[in-house]
Amino acid sequence: MRLTVLGNQGPFPGPEGACTGFLLQDKEVNILIDCGAGVISRLQKYCKISDLDAIVLSHLHSDHSSDMFVLRYAVQAKLMTKTMDKAIDVYTPKTPDKYYKELDFNNVFNLHNISDGMQLNIMGFSFTFYKTAHPVECYGMRIEKDGKVFAYSADTTYTENIIKLAENADLFLCEANATENIRKTSNPPHLSVKEACDIARKAKVKKLLLTHFWFEEPKENYRGDAEGEFNKVELSEELKTYEI
């Protein structure tokens, strides 16, 4: 498995940046995980829209799904011009209802609902979904293939479910939107860097990759919070590919 970070910012992207989106690949299989602002443009550096095998959305907050509402027009146009020959399978929570209904557009997506504890085989990848603690219905993912485990927290506050999701993962991609500096003035519904490291430590993951950065917060603050908290932790880099 290999994972390319298409965007790692939230809740909005900075200049030259993009919100959450990751391309998971193995051989000829291409699965997009989350699809926030700016992701579709970057996706096409690595994969044609017509070569997407599936899209998995952790939740329907805009910074994880807004480019889906651009992508639907792209797929519609490509189906009309016969540069694509089938709709894309999309795995997503069914709520919030307003945004879910907007995905049901001219048969460009085959919509499949996900739920807590659900296990699915998607193009040879074994997915298990874990409900997280977030203001809307949201699911983290444990993905297994060929003896390797990739875990993705999605958006959440601290919950035991994320420890189970990440247990012994080869790569744990974990949101860490809140630094200690941010926590001085606000309490966003997200993990802090230190909490992400604590989960990784308890889950005994092999490598922790942090994501979902607040663009206006200096990266030095994220690095400083992570220092000494976990033995193998990195800040994810946009447009970088990680082998799992």
Buried b (16+ CB within 10 A) or exposed e, 199-216: bbeebebebbbbbbbbee
Four-residue CA torsion sign, 88, 135, 63, 227: negative
Residue 62 vs residues 36, 58, 171, 219: alpha-carbon distances, Å: 6, 11, 25, 23
CB 219 within 8 A of CB 213: yes
Burial (0-12, 13-18, 19+ Cβ within 10 Å), 105: middle
The rounded percent of the chain whose pLDDT value lies above 90 is: 99
pLDDT at residue 116 in the model: 97
* Residue (of 216, 213, 218) closest to 237 by Cα position: 213
pLDDT at residue 91 in the model: 98
Burial (0-12, 13-18, 19+ Cβ within 10 Å), 69: middle
pLDDT at residue 195 in the model: 97
CATH topology of domain 2-243: Metallo-beta-lactamase; Chain A (3.60.15)
- Segment 121-137, tens digit of pLDDT: 999 999 999 999 999 99
Parallel/antiparallel/unpaired status of strands 171-175 and 148-152: parallel
**What's the rounded mean pLDDT across residues 29-53?**
98
pLDDT at residue 30 in the model: 98
d(CA 223, CA 125): 32
Cβ within 8 Å of residue 223, ≥6 positions away? 235
Q: Which two tokens stand for residue 176?
A: 């860490």
- Segment 187-221, tens digit of pLDDT: 899 999 999 999 999 999 999 999 999 999 999 99
CA 191 to chain centre: 15
Position 10 confidence tier, pLDDT thresholds 50, 70, 90: very high
C-alpha dihedral (202, 133, 147, 52), degrees to nearest 10: -150
Count of residues making up the chain: 244
**What's the rounded mean pLDDT across residues 109-128?**
98
